[in-house]
Chain A
Amino acid sequence: MLMIHCPYCDELLPEAEFAYAGEAHIIRPEDPSAVSDEEWEKFLFIRTNVKGLHFERWRHVHGCGRFFNAVRDTVSDRILITYKAGEPKPELDKLLAEVGQ
């Protein structure tokens, strides 16, 4: 089981308290009826599906209830950092240097 740090509770907690919630930093268009079908398709369905570092959302569903973001390596399953919803994307180069990879 993964251990996940909830940035709101500030505790390292078992994965069973959390729910995965898809790729992070995908912004819903302000006015959906104004965007083209292609743009709407991109918003709804097209994901990076990266092999490596992935920005993703999690929810501390059996806990504080908050959504937050994480950077997880999809190869090793290691979570490099978690941060509150609304905070900017962490810089990956800096992050990798910090964790010594």
Chain B
Amino acid sequence: MSLQISSLSPETLIHTGDVQITVTGETGRISLRARGKLAPLDKALGVKLPTKIGTRANKGDVEALCLGPDEWLILCPNDDVSALKAACDAIYEKLPHSFTDISAREITLSITGPQAAELLTIGCPRDIASIGVGEARRTVFDNASVVLWCDGPDQFRLDLWNSFAPYSAELLITGAKEFSAETALT
């Protein structure tokens, strides 16, 4: 599997009263592309792949997010990637697909707190509230493609490619500081 090369190490980057930004630990990430009847892949992964864009399904630690009509992002523990690859390889004849280990490509920021959603609006042009709890979307954050996961009204995860991560994180930290200065003034 690909080596994890992270631009930011797992740690809390900022914690104001209203928002906390943390780099989460390493995880297995898989980009999956396939068309047609998905049953063989569902079986190999142990998760029924969701087919509505933005929806998620999970079985234990393996979580699948539908990114597009023929594209999924799979999250799983690091150690599970090779077993999942072997299981998918075994059904390749039945359902040709593309399985790519992208674990090293991205890091994830956990953004939580009462101002989390508002903080995201400084870089994301989308209506954050349009992403339901338990859903996720690929979208844009200050010009960089990201995946934004909504785990609760005040709980988000933002997947960032390593090369953009320090820049995007810096923007979020600056935003969080400005929000907290604003709160201090009122």
Chain A interface residues toward B at CB < 8 A = 1, 8-11, 13-14, 16-17, 61-66
> Does residue B145 face the partner (Cβ distance < 8 Å to A)?
yes
Q: How far is the CA of A66 from the CA of B33 in the complex (A)?
A: 13
Report whether B69 and A62 are in contact in the complex, using a CB–CB cutoff of 8 Å. no
Cβ–Cβ contact A17 & B125, under 8 A: yes
Given A1-B125, A17-B126: A63 in contact with B71 (beta carbons within 8 A) = no
Asked whether A16 lies within 8 Å of B140 as measured between CB atoms, the reply is yes
- Minimum CB–CB distance for B63 against chain A, Å: 19
Asked if residues B130 and A63 are in contact (CB atoms below 8 Å), the reply is no
Q: Does B56 contact A (CB under 8 A)?
A: no
Q: Considering the chains assembled together, what is the distance between the CA atoms of A19 and B93 in angstroms?
A: 35
* Overall SS of chain B's interface: strand
Q: Given A9-B53, A16-B140, answer yes or no on A64-B125 (Cβ-Cβ < 8 Å).
A: no
* Given A9-B53, A17-B126: A62 and B71 interface contact (C-beta under 8 Å): no
Q: Of A11, A13, A64, which is in contact with the most chain B CB atoms at under 10 Å from its CB? A: A64
Q: How many whole Å from B90's CB to the nearest CB in chain A?
A: 27
Q: CA separation between A64 and B71, bound complex, in Å?
A: 8
Chain B residues near A63: list those with CB within 8 A. 68, 137-139
Residues from 57 to 89 in B contacting A, C-beta threshold 8 Å: 67-69, 71
What separation, in Å, do the CA atoms of A7 and B56 have in the docked complex?
20
Kindly list chain A residues whose C-beta atoms are within 8 Å of the C-beta of B138. 62-65
**Interface, chain B (partner A; CB < 8 A):** 53-54, 67-69, 71, 125-126, 130, 137-140, 145-146
Partner among A1, A11, A14, A65 whose Cβ is within 8 Å of the Cβ of B67:
A65
Whether B68 and A8, one on each chain, are in contact in the complex, defined by CB atoms closer than 8 angstroms, is yes
Instruction: Tell me the nearest residue of chain B to A14, going by C-beta.
Output: B125
Which of these, B69, B126, B140, B146, contacts A64 with CB under 8 Å?
B69
Smallest beta-carbon distance B20→chain A, Å: 26
Chain B residues with CB below 8 A from A17, complex form: 125-126, 139-140
Cα A16 to Cα B71 in complex, Å, equals: 21
Residues of A within 8 A of B53 (CB): 8-10, 64
By beta carbon, the residue of chain B nearest A16 is B125
CA distance A1 to B127 in the complex (A): 13
Known: A16-B140, A63-B137, A65-B67. 16 other contacts (CB 8 A): A8-B69, A9-B54, A10-B53, A11-B130, A13-B126, A17-B126, A61-B145, A62-B138, A62-B140, A63-B139, A64-B67, A64-B68, A64-B69, A64-B138, A65-B71, A66-B68
